Amino acid sequence: MMFPNQVCQRRRDLLHVGGLTALGLGIGDWFHARAGLASETDSAVTAKSCILLWLDGGPSHLDLFDLKPEAPAEIRGPFQPISTNVPGIEICEQLPRTAAMMDRIALVRSMTSTLGEHNFASHYLLTGYEPSRALTYPGLPSVVKWLGSQNPPGTLPALPTNIAITRPNAMLGCGYLPESTSPFVIDGDPSKPDFRVQDLQTLPGITAGRLDRRRKFREVVEEFSGHQHQQLSQSTPGDSAFDQAFRLVQSPQARSAFDLEREPDSTRLRYGRHTLGQSCLMARRLIEAGTKFVTVTDRGWDTHENLFNRLKEGFTGGTAGKIPKLDQAYAALLDDLAERGLLDSTLVIVMGEFGRTPKLNTRGGRDHWPGAFSVALAGGGVTGGQVIGQSDSHGQRPADRPVSPADLVRTIYRLIGIDGDRELQTSDGRPVQINRDGTVIEELV
């Protein structure tokens, strides 16, 4: 299938491509150019990769990034705000490490949508499209992977472009794109002592030569059988799950990116010896090794009851709930990326599918609330230390500058060098814009 980027590129883009080539930049940059970088802007795109911390279930904006200390107790909730290293920005007292690096983080506090059901809302946040009965849209990382897979086969990276650490939200699928753009899922808990990514090591006796032969034989069987397998593969040639697996297996360097044992204990402790912490560390290793998009999924944010305990202590008498773990892992990740000089080229997003009801319910929890919620972005060229938009006094609705999930997703695309106007095609040849309904949040780019 021809990918119509050459047709769509405007003159300015061509100049841009020329510039990159002249500077002798690598494949990653070329990928940016192919993906339609800068057709909306002249500003340079610095993000080469992206880490999404997906707080599954819907994190409470009122207890994380948008506290309302002036509101009545049943809205204010159990936590107090603390100041951050940016004057005037306050966040939850349970996020002290994050507060100390607020200058790296941009908060959007005026996110708003109308979808209050988990799947619908997740689909909207992860694809930028409201769910439709006509078409399933691809998750953002699948689009990134698809665009990357359009490069010539010889230049494709050994590491998968789209990796999910712990099983991701079901809406993070490939949609109308080929199944091979789905995330490579690292199942299991990276904080367990016996954790390792399964099946990376070839068996004794299976030499590189035999791997190549197997790859060839498999393709030959396919070709002679003559099935086009349309419903399965959506008729795309190219970068199948097997191709990706072969490349990964044949690169010891890429495989080692999955090996957390190579990290010193001090680093592992810094991220926290819990699932989220070690997942974030794994994400950093993968980004460092060249993966474009890593999704870390943290479950359990659907706090319909007993919110205080679950967010602060985990359970009654526990030592760490959802927020302290997030604080530790997130802050360690941003610090570590910065120390390695990777933060400017890595966009880190913290979000979930919606916020929580301003009013605490009778079970001490908060229910689904898409009317207003918050998202945090850092790195990847984002100007930190700023708050975009406000919610009203009770965190019910945006008080100004409403930002829709489509706007957010378009902004993320822009930050990683993808033009939201570019058209992709469904398997039956229907053109679909990467992002249709969004407007870029200008403060962030």
- Lookup: tokens for 61: 């904006």
CB neighbours of residue 287 within 10 Å: 26
Q: Closest distance between other proteins and the C-beta of residue 44, in Å?
A: 33
Q: Closest distance between other proteins and the C-beta of residue 39, in Å?
A: 23
User: Quick one: 77 or 160, whose CB is closer to other proteins?
Assistant: 160
Q: Closest distance between other proteins and the C-beta of residue 19, in Å?
A: 35
Q: Closest distance between other proteins and the C-beta of residue 35, in Å?
A: 22
User: Quick one: 98 or 297, whose CB is closer to other proteins?
Assistant: 297
Q: Which residues here bind other proteins, judged by CB under 8 A?
A: 114-116, 132-135, 160, 173-174, 179-180, 182, 184-185, 187, 198-203, 205-206, 210-211, 213-214, 216-222, 224-233, 235, 240-242, 244-246, 248-249, 371, 397, 427-430
Q: Closest distance between other proteins and the C-beta of residue 433, in Å?
A: 10
Q: Closest distance between other proteins and the C-beta of residue 135, in Å?
A: 7
- Report the C-alpha gap between 122 and 144 in whole angstroms: 18
Give CA separation, 40 vs 10, 45, 303, 445, in Å. 10, 11, 39, 11
Sorted by sequence, the CB contacts under 8 Å of residue 240 that are 6+ apart come out as: 180, 233
User: Quick one: 85 or 393, whose CB is closer to other proteins?
Assistant: 393
- Lookup: tokens for 271: 């991220």
Sorted by sequence, the CB contacts under 8 Å of residue 229 that are 6+ apart come out as: none
Crossing angle of helices 140-148 and 27-34, rounded to 10°: 110
User: Quick one: 23 or 134, whose CB is closer to other proteins?
Assistant: 134
User: Quick one: 217 or 315, whose CB is closer to other proteins?
Assistant: 217
User: Quick one: 216 or 262, whose CB is closer to other proteins?
Assistant: 216
Cβ–Cβ under 8 Å, residues 303 and 356 = yes
With H, G, I as helix, E, B as strand and everything else as coil, classify residue 14. helix
Q: Closest distance between other proteins and the C-beta of residue 424, in Å?
A: 14
Counting Cα atoms < 13 Å in the Cβ hemisphere of 36 gives 25
Phi, psi of 432 (to 5 degrees): -135, 130
User: Quick one: 160 or 324, whose CB is closer to other proteins?
Assistant: 160
- Lookup: tokens for 360: 């605490």
Q: Is 206 left (phi over 0), alpha (psi -120 to 50) or beta?
A: beta
